[in-house]
């Protein structure tokens, strides 16, 4: 069995506590094709949570401005298009047009002070990963 791939996304301290940050990455699918993969990483104290940056309502990115992911109270993720809000811990939509649906979670780990994505093959070329 192949070991799970692990990719460093950023330093843990790059994201202040109670903030969310977006990353535009590229994944390698089962056929070797590259496709864009936009994710949200939330830091809450010592915890980090990750979700695919895709609203279950219309499939758009949640942020209406770069790295604007939280609701006005700073306690839920919010979609900028129609205002659905999502619990941070579960990704479940608790208010708005996609109520009851969930964001797709991403496995993250903090290793040696770095936030890492686990179990997904990424394209390692920084130039393409940040576009
Ligand atoms: S697209 Fe996100 S709430 Fe409609």
Could you tell me the CATH number of the domain that includes residue 71? 2.102.10.10
Q: Is 84 within the bounds of a domain?
A: yes
Domain count, the chain: 1
pLDDT at 89: 95
Domain-embedded: residue 1: no
Nearest to 84 by CA among 69, 95, 68: 95
Task: Kindly report the protein residue whose alpha carbon is nearest to atom 1 of ligand 1.
Answer: 58
pLDDT given for residue 85 in this prediction = 98
Residue 89 resides in a domain: yes
Cβ–ligand 1 distance for 96 under 6 Å, the answer yes
Atom of ligand 1 nearest to the CA of 98: 3
Task: Tell me, in angstroms, the distance from the centre of ligand 1 to residue 94's CA.
Answer: 13
Domain of 107 in residue numbering reads as: 6-123
- DSSP code of 62? S
- The answer, yes or no, to whether any atom of ligand 1 lies below 6 A from the CB of 81, is yes
The model carries a pTM of 0.91
- Looking at the domain assignment, is residue 28 inside a domain? yes
What digits encode the pLDDT tens for the residues 83-98? 999 999 999 999 999 9
Structure confidence at residue 30 (pLDDT): 87
CB atoms near residue 86 (< 10 Å): 28
Is 35 a member of any domain? yes
What is the per-residue pLDDT for 82? 97
108 within domain boundaries: yes
Q: Counting atoms of ligand 1 from 1, which one is nearest the CA of 84?
A: 3
Query: Which residues of the chain carry a pLDDT beneath 70?
Result: 1-3, 125-131
Please check whether residue 131 lies inside any domain of the structure: no
How far apart CA 102 and CA 18 sit, in angstroms, is 20
Class of residue 115 by CB neighbours under 10 A (exposed 0-12, middle 13-18, buried 19+): buried
Angle at 93 between CA 90 and CA 98, to 5 degrees: 145
Domain presence at residue 119: yes
């Amino acid at each position: 069995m192949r070991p799970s791939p692990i990719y460093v996304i950023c330093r843990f301290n790059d994201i202040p506590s109670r903030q969310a940050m977006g990353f535009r990455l590229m994944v390698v699918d089962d056929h070797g094709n590259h496709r864009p993969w936009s994710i949200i990483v939330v830091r809450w104290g010592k915890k980090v949570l990750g979700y695919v940056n895709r609203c279950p309502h219309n499939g758009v990115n949640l942020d209406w401005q770069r790295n604007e992911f939280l609701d006005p109270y700073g306690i839920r993720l919010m979609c900028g298009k129609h205002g659905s809000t999502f619990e941070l811990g579960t990704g479940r939509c608790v208010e708005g047009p996609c109520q009851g649906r969930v964001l797709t979670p991403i496995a993250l780990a903090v290793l040696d002070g770095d936030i890492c994505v686990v179990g997904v093959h990424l394209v390692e070329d920084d130039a393409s990963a940040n576009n």
